[in-house]
Structure 1
Amino acid sequence: MALYLLIFAVCLLVVGGTVLILLFSRTPRYRTEPGQLLALFDKALRNEVTSTEWNIVMNYPIRHDDYLEGVRRRAQHVMQEHGRHWQIAQGKPLLNDAGRKELAALRDHLEAHHRLRQRRRGSNES
């Protein structure tokens, strides 16, 4: 009888602990930040990005920041217009020359916007 109660208590502890952990843990969320987009754009401009790496970031919607979502959509549009996925395996760039120019302009705009936001946050905290 003692063995039965011991096994029952251990099982109750394990199941109860698991239920408590599941109740109090939150769903993990991936938040794309401006620095991640800037790094991805830099890699794309240096011809170091793979199509898989590009698609992982660009095909995931950004719901927490409307501006970043707009940048993501514009980058997707650039890829649709100027992308050359099939040439990456041959060591050639992901984008043609016109696409790299558009992506560089988009990257510069994002960087300027990000710096302006950081300055505003810094002046509000002071």
Structure 2
Amino acid sequence: MNIAITLCLSFAVFALIFWGMMHMRTPRFRMEREQFQRGLEDVIVGQADDNEWRVLISYPMRHDPPLEQLRLECLQIEEEEYTGKPPYLFTETGLQQLRDVRERLLALPPQDETE
């Protein structure tokens, strides 16, 4: 009798754990425009290191196509103008291009909250 109760309880616990794992979502990192803007500004003024730059440009921004376009542009700037030397990670030309990206980011229309 005790074995049957133990088996039933064990099965119930494992079924509950399995069900919970099936319905859990993986955490997702979602960068918003304000975060991207702050990151760009940190790079422009020489307050960001290589790790911060990598975080800024590494995650696709499928939730915001205009922001994704700016991120891809930053990747292109990186290919041509990145030095990786603190405090400024880019050449002066690259910093100016990043300033231009920041200005276009600020000029974007507000993102619709319902998306």
TM-score normalised according to structure 2 size: 0.83
| Paired AA for residue 117 in structure 1 | P
User: Which digits, 9 at most, give the CA deviation of each residue in 1:5-53, with x for residues without a partner?
Assistant: 3422332222111122123222332222111210110110121111122
1:33: which partner in 2? 32
Q: Aligned partners of 2:65, 2:81: CA distance in 1, in Å?
A: 24
1:98: which partner in 2? 93
Give the aligned length.
113
SS of residue matched to 1:117: coil
SS of residue matched to 2:62: coil
The question of 1:46 aligning with 2:45 is answered yes
TM-score normalised according to structure 1 size: 0.77
Seq. identity, %: 24
SS of residue matched to 1:14: helix
Which consecutive residues of structure 1, in runs of 5 or more, have no partner in the other structure?
none
Which consecutive residues of structure 2, in runs of 5 or more, have no partner in the other structure?
none
SS of residue matched to 2:110: helix
| Paired AA for residue 27 in structure 1 | T
1:79: which partner in 2? 78
Q: Aligned partners of 1:117, 1:67: CA distance in 2, in Å?
A: 11
